[in-house]
């Protein structure tokens, strides 16, 4: 089998082939490393490559099979990891100068579970600094480019993870989603991206941005692959106090059709869509109806306040979480004449403009005299959003919307913060509610740029969410390919 065939294979097929002995894990990993070597100088998806470690892990998988031992569900499958997840012995930076050179002494639970299932980590991917952004232009190191059009952004903050899957550097990748940071780049890069129910996947080892909103989830090129990965990484973890006991996701539970399912189209998320995105949403609605789903519009009134509430709650939590980066315990340290100046110099030189902006906004929202007026009210709006979603789910099995109001935009196209924040207007509400949601590539615009459809479900409704996502995937007549692949043809 050729390298080109390996990099186009699904995670399910790779694992099956490695388990059966049809090919080796070393062959699979080598092919993906060659793909990275050939094209990542253009894409810049990776902050850190782990080639030697990956080949060593692949050899261990092959040796295990040679001994007749049972291999896991992701045997030999390369995986790219967002660089805000700890990996023992490997630099973890959050794409920030303040953490450059930090080597964690522990590994994130999600990574441990992936490796226990036989997956092979091949590198740490680029992100908006501390996961704050929607384009990966806020990385302290370099921007990542969208493999579908190298002149455009991949989305963010998990832009490197989304790009690594779209570029065929890995069949699966892991990202984090605080307000859309998995789903929005998935839409812009033409891949599948999943944000699970809050608490279903352990956050231990994830460097926190906003602890009540952060959630880890997979990227893949198929719904089936993303479902399998969620099966592997979900489940209770005693090291994470927000991890829910007795809850996990079963990959097999998502089988079946959608005839008779009730699907609501969120009216509040139909405003402000570009013409091409609006057209794709209309096509998705008709496709679901043609497969027997009962589709109608539904109102989630408080969802329109999601962006406002989010940009008070998330920065407030960030201002607290990022206080630990002070130059004393780890990371960058810039010496001053006293401790106050050391703090000031370290944080001033270590944090980028967007991180500083959010820390200051969050600190202001939590300050005396403004807490009740700003942060307190935002939390009340959050409750209203959750209640309105619950009301909608009393009549519908799932909800759908566009994932992003636009396709991937060009670099520097959104120079003011508000226009960038609007990129997540469709994704933020489900983070505030704690419900699962995912993006499925469904169509392309007139220039061939990907458009994703978002499927939302009530808490622990991943099974029905994946059923609808599979139906959309089957109906889609679009497949995103890297720019160089279309040029070579």
Q: Distance (Å, rounded) from C-alpha 142 to C-alpha 47?
A: 9
Nearest to 350 by CA among 374, 375, 327: 327
Q: Distance (Å, rounded) from C-alpha 340 to C-alpha 346?
A: 10
Is residue 83 within 8 A of residue 125, CB to CB? The reply is: yes
Instruction: Tell me how crowded residue 53 is: count the other CB atoms within 10 A of its CB.
Output: 16
Residue spans of alpha helices (H) in 127-237:
159-166, 183-189, 223-233
Active-site choice (181, 187, 243, 401): 181
Instruction: Tell me how crowded residue 399 is: count the other CB atoms within 10 A of its CB.
Output: 28
- DSSP three-state, residue 158: coil
Annotated catalytic residue 243: no
Annotated catalytic residue 82: yes
Active-site choice (24, 157, 423, 430): 157
Cα–Cα distance list, 452 to 278, 336, 479 (Å):
11, 49, 11
Residue spans of alpha helices (H) in 272-376:
275-290, 306-321, 339-350, 353-366
Q: Distance (Å, rounded) from C-alpha 296 to C-alpha 87?
A: 45
Q: Distance (Å, rounded) from C-alpha 126 to C-alpha 123?
A: 10
Q: Distance (Å, rounded) from C-alpha 91 to C-alpha 84?
A: 10
Active-site choice (24, 44, 82, 134): 82
Annotated catalytic residue 176: no
- Report, as residue numbers or ranges, the catalytic residues: 82, 157, 181
């Amino acid at each position: 089998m050729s390298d080109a065939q390996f990099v186009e294979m699904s995670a399910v097929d790779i694992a099956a082939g490695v388990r059966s002995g049809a090919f080796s894990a070393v062959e699979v990993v080598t092919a993906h490393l060659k793909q990275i070597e050939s094209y990542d100088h253009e894409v810049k998806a990776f902050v850190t490559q782990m080639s030697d470690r990956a080949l060593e892990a692949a050899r261990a998988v092959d040796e295990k099979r040679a001994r007749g031992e049972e291999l896991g569900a992701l045997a030999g499958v390369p995986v790219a990891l967002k660089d805000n997840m700890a990996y023992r012995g490997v630099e973890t930076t959050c794409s920030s100068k303040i953490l450059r050179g930090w080597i964690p002494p522990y590994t994130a639970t999600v990574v441990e579970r992936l490796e226990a299932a036989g997956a092979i980590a091949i590198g740490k991917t680029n992100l908006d600094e501390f996961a704050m952004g929607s384009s990966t232009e806020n990385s302290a190191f370099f921007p990542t480019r969208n493999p579908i059009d190298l002149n455009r952004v991949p989305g963010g903050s998990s832009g490197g993870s989304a790009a690594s899957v779209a570029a065929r550097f890995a069949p699966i990748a892991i990202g984090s989603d605080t307000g859309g940071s998995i789903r929005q780049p998935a839409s812009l890069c033409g891949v599948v991206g999943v944000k699970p129910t809050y608490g279903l996947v352990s956050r231990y080892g994830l460097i926190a941005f906003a602890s009540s909103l952060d959630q880890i989830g997979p990227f893949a090129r198929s719904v089936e692959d993303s479902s399998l990965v969620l099966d592997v990484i979900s489940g209770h973890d005693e090291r994470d106090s927000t991890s829910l006991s007795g809850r996990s996701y079963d990959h097999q539970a998502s089988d079946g059709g959608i005839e008779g399912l009730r699907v609501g189209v969120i009216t509040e998320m139909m405003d402000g869509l570009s013409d091409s995105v609006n057209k794709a949403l209309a096509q998705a609605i008709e496709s679901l109806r043609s497969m027997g789903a009962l589709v109608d519009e539904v109102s989630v009134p408080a969802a329109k306040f999601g962006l406002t509430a989010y940009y008070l709650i998330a920065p407030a939590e960030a201002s607290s979480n990022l206080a630990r980066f002070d130059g004393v315990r780890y990371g960058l340290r810039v010496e001053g004449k006293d401790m106050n100046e050391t703090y000031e110099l370290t944080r001033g030189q270590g944090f980028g403009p967007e991180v500083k902006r959010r820390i200051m906004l969050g600190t202001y929202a939590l300050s005396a005299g403004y807490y009740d007026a700003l942060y307190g009210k935002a939390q009340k709006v959050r409750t209203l959003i959750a209640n309105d979603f619950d009301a909608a789910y009393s009549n519908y099995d799932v909800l759908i919307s566009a994932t992003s109001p636009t396709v991937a935009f060009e670099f520097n196209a959104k120079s003011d913060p508000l226009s960038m924040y609007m990129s997540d207007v469709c994704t933020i509400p489900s983070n505030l509610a704690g419900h699962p949601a995912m993006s499925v590539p469904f169509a392309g615009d007139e220039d061939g740029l990907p458009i994703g459809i978002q499927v939302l479900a009530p808490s622990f409704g991943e099974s029905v969410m994946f059923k609808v996502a599979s139906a959309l995937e089957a109906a889609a007549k679009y497949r995103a390919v890297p720019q160089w692949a279309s040029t070579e043809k």
